[in-house]
Structures are given as structure tokens and as C-alpha cells.
Amino acid sequence: MQNFTPVSALLGGALIGLSAFILLRLNGRIAGISSIMSGVFTASGPNRHWRLAFLAGLVMGAAIWRALAAEPFALRQDHPLFLLAAGGFLVGFGTRIGNGCTSGHGICGLALLSPRSIAATLTFMASGMATVYLLRHVLRVGV
């Protein structure tokens, strides 16, 4: 398996967990990216500033990793635009009806043993697995 990178995966997971812990401890907020992003457009003053800083950190972290990585990752661009648009719409719709996203439920909610987050994360994972199976093995898209 050539894409197996346990060190970077462990480091990335630890940094995500640490940032979620720091935000909860210092700000009393769950690190749910969809809520943080929507708050950028609805919040004002200091409540908006920390959200902008958090999102800037996400973007800068990815940019720094890409600049320092020995072998930069390749972006997949061979998927049809309609599938990307449909996927984006469904993720946004699911985030809205699920009252949170994979980061809020899957990282923070699971750590807090929230039953709602456990159910949401199981639903995310099952939906993702079913989608990959359907696209790759039934419809043969992106194979």
C-alpha cells in the first residue's frame, strides 16, 4: 500500500484533536467547521474574529504542509462536475439536517460520548461506504 503514511496521519490527527481541545477549553465552543464557517457570516466582533482565525489556520496549515512535503499530494480532477456538485449539495444538506458536520460530530461529539454524535457519525460512515461502493463497483465511476 503506497499511500500508507502512519506518521503524518498520527501527527495530523493529534493536531486536529489538540485544536479541538484548545477551542473547547479556551472558548467553550465545539470545533464543528460548518458552524464555525456559518458564524463567519452571521457573528460580529470577537465572536467573528476567532472564527476567522480558526479558518485561516486550517488554510495555512494545508498550505504549509503542501510547501514542506517531500512529495506533494496530487489532486484528483477526473470526476464529472455534476457528481462533484451533487456531492457538495448533499454534504451541505446533510450537515444542515444533522445539526453539524463530520468534524463537530465525529471529532468533538464522539470525544464527549454524545449519543446524537455517535448516531450521526455512524450515518456519515455508512453513507460514505455505500457511496464509494456504488460509484466504484456498480457505476464504475473514477476507476
Band of residue 2 on the pLDDT scale cut at 50, 70, 90:
low
For the chain, give the longest Cα–Cα distance: 50
Instruction: Tell me what percent of the residues of the chain surpass a pLDDT of 90.
Output: 22
Q: Is 120 exposed, middle or buried (0-12, 13-18, 19+ CB in 10 A)?
A: buried
pLDDT at 74 over 80: no
Report the pLDDT value the prediction gives residue 1, as an integer from 0 to 100: 47
- pLDDT tens digits, one per residue of 109-136: 998 899 999 999 999 899 889 988 998 8
Band of residue 75 on the pLDDT scale cut at 50, 70, 90:
low
| Nearest-angstrom CA–CA distance, 22 and 34 | 18
Are the beta carbons of 33 and 104 closer than 8 angstroms?
yes
- pLDDT tens digits, one per residue of 3-39: 778 888 898 889 889 988 998 899 888 888 888 888 8
pLDDT at 77 over 50: yes
To 10 degrees, what angle do helices 46-68 and 6-27 make? 170
pLDDT at 76 over 90: no
Band of residue 71 on the pLDDT scale cut at 50, 70, 90:
confident
| Nearest-angstrom CA–CA distance, 122 and 10 | 22
pLDDT at 140 over 80: yes
Report the pLDDT value the prediction gives residue 133, as an integer from 0 to 100: 94
| Nearest-angstrom CA–CA distance, 105 and 111 | 9
Compute CA distances 63 → 20, 28, 41, whole Å.
20, 28, 24
